[in-house]
Each structure stands twice: as C-alpha cells, then as structure tokens.
Structure 1
Amino acid sequence: MVVLARGQNRLHELYEAVISRDQDLSDVLELIVRTAMDLVGARYGALGVLDDSGERLREFIPMGLSEAETRALAGVGLPAGRGLLGYLISHPEPVRVEDISAHPASVGFPPGHPPMHGMVGAAVSIRGRVYGNLYLCERHDGRPFDSHDEAMIASFAEAAGLAIDDASLMRQTRMDAEQFQRMLLPRLTDLHPFRTAAVYRPATRPRHIGGDWYDAVRLPGGAVAAVIGDVVGHDLQAAAAMAQTRNMLLALLHNNIADGPADVLSALESTVEDLTANPVTTVCLAYFEPVPPVDAHVPRFRLRWSTAGHPPPLLLTPDGGTRYLAAQPDLPLGVDAEVPRREHTHPVPPGSTVIFYTDGVTEHPDHPLDQTMARLAALAGTHADLPLEDLIHELADQHPSDGHDDMALLAVKAPSWTQADGGR
C-alpha cells in the first residue's frame, strides 16, 4: 500500500507539473523518465519516442548516465529500435526481464554501453496510439524488478501518455496564440526617407505570449510617429487588449486629433477607459519631426516624445555612440488619467538610429537594470555598422534579459543623405 500511495502521489505531481508550470514538451519527457526512475528505484531510465510510421525511434531520452558513461557513448547514434527496444515497439505491453542478455530478442549493447541486466518497460500510448516506450534498468538495491515494479510502471505509462497529450495540446495552443499575436502586429510600411525595422519575440521560460507591440506611421507635415508599448499580462487577454489599444492609437494619429505625443497619450487613455477594461499599459510615443536645416541640402530632425511608464529610447549615432534619452516617465496608461503628461525633445543627428524596446529586453532578476541597459547600449554600439534589420535582430538574439517576458524592439533610422543626390 505504501508503494501504491507513493506512486499515486508521483503521478499527481507529474500531472500538476505539466498543467501548472506550462512546461515545454521536451521538459515533460525528461520529467517522466526521472519520475519513473524514482518510482522503482532504477539507476537508468529512457523514453523512446516513435516516428510517424510507429516502427522506428525518432527520439531517445536517456537518463542516469554518469559523465564517464556519456563520454564512452559519444558518437553512438540513435538506437535503431532493434533487440529489446524493437521487441517493445512490436509488442506494446508491459515487459519485465531479469537478464537482458538472456532474452530471445536481445542483440547486445553498442560499444561503451554500461552493463545492464534487469529491465522493466511499458508502452506509452496517446488516444489509442503508441507514442513511445518507457524503459527502466538496474535497481539501485541490486535486486531484480518485481511484479509491483511492473504494475507501477504500467500504470505510470498510462498517466505519462495523458501528461504528454496535455503538454502537446498546450504547446499547440501556445503556437496558435503566438501566431495570433504576430498577426496583430504591423508590417512596417515604407516611411522614406526614414528606414525602420522591428522584431517581436515571445518569452522563452515559460514560453508565453504577451501584450508587447510596436508601430511606425507617417504623420501630416512630413513627420513620422513611432510607438512601442506593453500591456500588462501574459495571455490571450493581454494580446487582445494590445490590439484594441494599438488600433485606438492609430485612429487618434490618423485623425490628427492632438498636437503632440503627450496629448495623444492622454486622449488614448481616456478612450481606453471609456470603451474597454484594458489593463495597465506602458507606452512610448515619439515624433520624428523636421526642423529648419542649417544647410539646405541636409535634412534635420528632432525627436519629440512622451513616455507613459516605459523604458527610455536609445539613440545610436553613426559612429557607434549611444545615449539613453532619459526623462522622468509619466504614469502608465490606466493608473490615473487626471495626471498631466509631459513631452521631451532631443535632436536626431543625420544617419542616427533611435531604438525603442520593451522591458522584456532588459529585465533580469539577477542583474541590476542599469547593468542590463548598459549591456544593451554596448551591443547597439558594437553592431552600429550593420544594416538596420540585422542590427535589430542582433539585439534580440543577444538581449541581456533572462527571457522571462516577451520582447519587442523597433528601430527608426534618420536619413543621412543630401536632398541633392536623390537619397543615394
């Protein structure tokens, strides 16, 4: 009874881990092997996943090997599904063997494989189809596996199939949700003479979507508006709220209802409060505005922006110099609409790039924010010579955060050419 109770507890823990932690499928498979090993006190364990034909292995997840044993098997490929592995594939029912080498289906082990004698295994099925097989070898106490071990692993294999099925469904749901969010994000239009590039990445651990978004649109009078925002939350509700907020902001910009970014954000906050139950949102809205040139052939621009609780823009000059355009941020949207919003201005030298980003790019629980922001600025300066699209992806690939949150980056590059040469 004690063994049975322990087995039931571990099955419950496995299911809770899959559901509550929203783990990736690869992590679930490893957890299944480790849990099975613990249930029967096995030194070694493995899960063989079948390919679509159901006749061969497409994945093999071994556990329990020491570093020396792993090195000894270096270069040995995926098991071919022969011997006892093949027997379990063709006979998907629980099996218990005291001496592997004496079994009629045994074909021996590859060079470097540690010696193994006793084994217990069972098929893992999902919705009536065999997904793979679970193998346990060598009890720590040196005794052969008994009928209780066999029954335990057979029951566990059934529960493992349910856990894998749930993890697979969650994975597909995440993929569908991520695709949904990507469909909500814009395809940046040609804003000549400015160049733009953007990238969105979902969180990696745990993998989820969120409310990050970006946009860049042309305004009347030759200005360009750039916006980046982050709706609080990590689910479809946050993604839907993001879409509502983004569309409202675009409508306000296109209808030119306010003079500057601070007024637009104030109007956006009032509209959001009146029409939706959207959560707290951070936003940075910036205008790239033409200013009278000193030299008639060289276009000049300034950045005029307002920040609703969002990280500051990063200015990257053509020589690789970087500077955060730090200013006291106003409250995020959805906190207190009565508090006035402020604007800030800064010149944009010809050929310079302004990089907007969400906090998922820089937040790391083990490092102070000023350190991760300095790292992001250093990365931008190091790769300043890259084409804009390559630069923004390099920053996304080497971001200094821990990946716990989704991230978005938007880069807007001001023209550096003279009007006389036609932009070449």
Structure 2
Amino acid sequence: MNGGGQPEVPGLRPGTGLEQVGARLRAVTDANERLQGLLEAVLAISRELDLSVVLRRIVTTAMELVGARYGALGVLHESGEHLKEFITAGLTEDERAALSGVEFPHGRGVLGHLIHHPEPLRLLDIPSHPASAGFPPGHPRMRTLLGVAISVRGEIYGDLYLSEREDGRPFDRGDEDIVVALAGAAGIAIENARLFAQVRDSAETFQRLLLPTVSDLGPFAAAAVYRPAAEPNRLGGDWYDALVLPDDSVGVMIGDVGGHDLRAAAAMAQARSMLRALFYDRRTPPSGVLTQLDRTLHATADIPVTTACLARVEPGESGWVLRWSSAGHLPPLLIGPELETEYLYAEPGLPLGVSTGEPRPDHTRELPPGSVLLFFTDGLVEHPAHPIDEGLAALAGLAVAHTSLPLPELVQALADRHPGDGRDDMAVLALRVPLGPPA
C-alpha cells in the first residue's frame, strides 16, 4: 500500500488513473471484438460460391468491420489499366437517383492511383490528393478514403474502397490492418467462386450435350428446352426426347431421374438411351416399352427412382390420336385450338425402379387439329410454399398466354416465367398438332 492509502496494482505505475485502466481494457475488448468480427466475416465470405454475391459481400463486410458509410469494389479489366466493373454499397435511393445516367468510374483520379500503386491508401481529404480528379455531378460528398488492393494468385484483381466512417473520424491504422486482412481472404473467396463457376459451367455443358436437339418431326412442329437448377450444384436428371418412329408416328418421352449430382446425370443418359432404342425398335404400346425398360434397368443398372412419360402420336380414323403411358410422371397439358386447357389425368403407374411386377396402363385421346401438347418435369411447377395444383393452374395460364408464339419461343417463355421455385432443374417439350388430317 502506498502512502496515500491506495492499494498497489501489479503492472501499474503509482498515480495511474482508473480512467486509463478502463480505456486500456476497452481497447483490448474492442480489438478482440474486431478480430472476432473479422473471423466471422472471412467465414461468411468463404461460404459463398456465386461470384457476384462474393463481390458484394466483400464490400458490405468491409463497411461493417470499420463502420464505413460508403463502400465500393472496382474490378480491374484484364489489361490492368482501368476498371471494368464497379460495385457500390451504402448509397441511399436519393443518392443513386442523383447519379442516374452517370457512368461508373473507370479508374481515373485517386482510383487510378490505387490501380497503379496498389499499396494501402488512407486519405484525410480526397480532393487535396495530387491525383484527385474531383467527383461527377450528383456524387455524395466524400472526404476520407481507405483503399486496399485485392489480389488473386498474385495478380491484382481489383481495389476495395471505403469512405466516411459513421462516427466522423478518419480511418486509422487499425482500420487499414483489418481491411488488408479481409482483402487477403477475399482473394481466396474470389478464386474459389471463379473455379466453382468453371466446374459448374463445364458440368452444365456436359449435361446439355447429353440431351438431344429436337429434330424435324414433320408434319408436327416441336421444340424443347432444359434449364438447370438455380442451386449451386446444377447437375440434375431431367431429360426429354422426340423422334419419328418407323411407322411414321411420332414418339415423345420425358423423364426425371431422382437426385442432383453426376450419378443422376449419368443415370439420365443411360435411361434415355435405352428408352429411345426400345421405343424405336419395338412395335408395342407405350406401356409395353416402359415395362421392358423397367425390367432392363432393374437387371443391368443401378439407377435412382425415375419418373417418365412415354407417348405416341399416330394417325387415327379422322385425325391424330395420342397414346401414352406414365411411370409416376405429371400429366401432359393439352391446349386446344380455342385456348381451352386440359391436363390429361390418368392412372400414372409406378415410377421406374420401384417394382417390375405391376401392370402399366395405356391411355388414348384424340387430338384436335392445331392443338398443342405440353410435356414437362416437376421443376417447372413445384414450389414448397404452394400446393402442386396451384403450380399446374399457373402453368396452364402461362401456356394459354403464349400459345400463339412459335414453339421455341413458347417453351423459352414457360421456362423463364415458371411457377416453380427454381431449385430444381426443368425440362419442357411442346408438340403442335397439324391442322390437316394425316396423309
């Protein structure tokens, strides 16, 4: 105890005030909280796989870490001389409106300085910097700046810009250190997102190559479209096919293999190839072809449960007739010449891969001249927030609204405006019945 009667605290000099002790403790606490925030931010950014989401997340995270009002990320052009993309955050609606029509900065002035001198840059007054070129009309007033380069594989990818701390103070060395650390993690996240995009695009291209281009089915018009799921893992098992059969009838098939991975895509290709061969070779009704396919797959392959619909459109006594059989698949939609719609509900049968001993029924329906048959997979209409009937009703309304379009535009419109939630891949095939009778 000293002469004043106060106890001595180890590590503190006599006369040190409690205010200083509290300030030091608060500084330690703030540093720990900032470090924890940085770790959480790195984890959050690393979870994202979509590049556009990663870039925006980098900006908003940096703003949160240092309490900045404005943030931006400029992505460098491949030449490294100017910016090709500029992502902003923090602007109010009024501020964005004031900048409408103003081109985004391409890397002149202070931004250009950071491009050519990628060391961290802290400014107390932007306009006073020698490289400053001023702000365009309508730009919010900005005084302070913290700029940090982001590199990917040793090359500068872009620059992260922050301006105006919410507390009005200038950016300090602690802000710079934490944003530099974030930029290092951001470079890794950007590279991961780019690699994932390459793999995803390659997988999607592979799957599209497995699906056929609908050939000339004259006198019928036909078109089809496939859309991958919006989920990061885009591979799926939806497929379609259409061909002219040896008796001059037209065969149509559509199906959905369970799963969203390479196994589903491989199983889809296997099932579609077998079905096409069986359908073309055999003169049996669609139910017989599905039965033989189920037995063949059961004996020779290990594929997930698969739904399918197999149909023949053939000449009848007075017009065209549809004969079809379903293996647990959604019914086709018939759109009549007067824009009346009807789902061809019938006994759906069991999906493939469930039981080979159950009989599969066939169904028959005369088709009005000029009508359109729509075959589709469940990804087009399923939404977890709505019953399937709502999705089917919405699809019928969309189909009526676009039936006058050429079939390639019709299927594209349905895939674009689908009632489903987009979390599953989808396939759509449309067939327009000739106006005249069979030759």
Give yes or no for contact 1:47–1:132 (8 Å, CA) kept in 2: yes
Residue-by-residue CA offset, 1:226-276 (whole Å, 9 max, x unaligned): 0011112223322221111111111211221x6221221122122222222
2:424 pairs with 1:399: no
In the alignment, the residues of structure 1 paired with residue 192 and residue 273 of structure 2 have an alpha-carbon distance, to the nearest angstrom, of 35
Residue-by-residue CA offset, 1:309-365 (whole Å, 9 max, x unaligned): 211101112222211101232222223333332222211122222110111111123
Q: Choose 125-134 or 272-281, whichever is displaced more.
A: 272-281
Match of 2:120 among 94, 97, 101: 94
2:185 pairs with 1:166: no
In the alignment, the residues of structure 1 paired with residue 87 and residue 277 of structure 2 have an alpha-carbon distance, to the nearest angstrom, of 52
Larger radius of gyration: 2
Aligned to 1:319: 338
Residues 206 and 402 of structure 1, relative CA distance in 2, 3 Å threshold: farther
Residue-by-residue CA offset, 1:265-306 (whole Å, 9 max, x unaligned): 12212222222221121111111122223xxxxxx2221111
In the alignment, the residues of structure 1 paired with residue 182 and residue 357 of structure 2 have an alpha-carbon distance, to the nearest angstrom, of 58
Match of 1:302 among 285, 306, 321: 321
Q: CA deviation at 1:45?
A: 0.7
Match of 1:5 among 9, 17, 36: 36
Match of 1:366 among 375, 385, 405: 385
Give yes or no for contact 1:318–1:384 (8 Å, CA) kept in 2: no
Q: Which runs of 5+ in 2 are unaligned?
A: 1-30
Q: CA deviation at 1:207?
A: 6.8
Match of 2:398, SS state, is helix
Residue-by-residue CA offset, 1:9-30 (whole Å, 9 max, x unaligned): 2112211x22xxx4x2111111
Q: How does 1:212-361 map to 2 (within 5 A)?
A: 212-256=238-282, 259-293=284-318, 300-361=319-380
In the alignment, the residues of structure 2 paired with residue 38 and residue 277 of structure 1 have an alpha-carbon distance, to the nearest angstrom, of 51
In the alignment, the residues of structure 2 paired with residue 138 and residue 232 of structure 1 have an alpha-carbon distance, to the nearest angstrom, of 52
Give yes or no for contact 2:233–2:260 (8 Å, CA) kept in 1: no
**Given the two structures, how large is their TM-score scaled by the length of structure 1?**
0.91
Q: CA RMSD in A?
A: 1.8
Residue-by-residue CA offset, 1:376-415 (whole Å, 9 max, x unaligned): 1122222332222232222222222222222111112222
**Given the two structures, how large is their TM-score scaled by the length of structure 2?**
0.88
Aligned to 2:68: 42
Letter in 2 for 1:158: G
Give yes or no for contact 2:372–2:433 (8 Å, CA) kept in 1: yes
Residues 109 and 210 of structure 1, relative CA distance in 2, 3 Å threshold: same
Give yes or no for contact 1:227–1:286 (8 Å, CA) kept in 2: yes
Aligned to 2:218: 192
Q: Choose 216-225 or 147-156, whichever is displaced more.
A: 216-225
Give yes or no for contact 2:320–2:438 (8 Å, CA) kept in 1: no
Match of 2:351, SS state, is coil
Residue-by-residue CA offset, 1:54-110 (whole Å, 9 max, x unaligned): 111110000011111111111111103112111110011212222222322222222
Give yes or no for contact 2:315–2:438 (8 Å, CA) kept in 1: no
Match of 1:48, SS state, is strand
Give yes or no for contact 1:100–1:116 (8 Å, CA) kept in 2: yes
Match of 2:247, SS state, is helix
In the alignment, the residues of structure 2 paired with residue 138 and residue 388 of structure 1 have an alpha-carbon distance, to the nearest angstrom, of 54
